[in-house]
Amino acid sequence: MNSQQILDLYTWAPGVCFQHPDAGAIETTVVQELRTRLGPVEGIRACPSCILAMEARRQCLAAEAGVVYEPGHAGAPL
């Protein structure tokens, strides 16, 4: 699976990447949802380069753990 195919697994919308807040509103996807005590769910957003870095790390961890790597879940541990 190439980088574009991995990125295609996500839904993209303008937002602020949690690792690159200085970049302002860029193309991002929600990797994790935060439930706050006040109710509304706030999404943690990541840009394409962060998603690819997270996916590469997940692929490594999955290989080390001997489990099948499934792209498209950057917010999940494996």
With respect to Zn ion, which residue has the nearer C-beta, 52 or 62? 52
In whole angstroms, the minimum distance from the beta carbon of 50 to Zn ion comes to: 3
**Token digits for 41?**
């769910």
Question: Which residues contact Zn ion by CB under 5 A?
Answer: 17, 19-20, 47, 50
In whole angstroms, the minimum distance from the beta carbon of 37 to Zn ion comes to: 27
With respect to Zn ion, which residue has the nearer C-beta, 6 or 50? 50
Angle, alpha carbons 13-44-11 (nearest 5°): 30
Across the strands, what pairs with 30? Answer: 45
Q: Using DSSP, how many helices (H) and how many strands (E) does the chain show? A: 2, 3
In whole angstroms, the minimum distance from the beta carbon of 42 to Zn ion comes to: 17
**Token digits for 15?**
């937002």
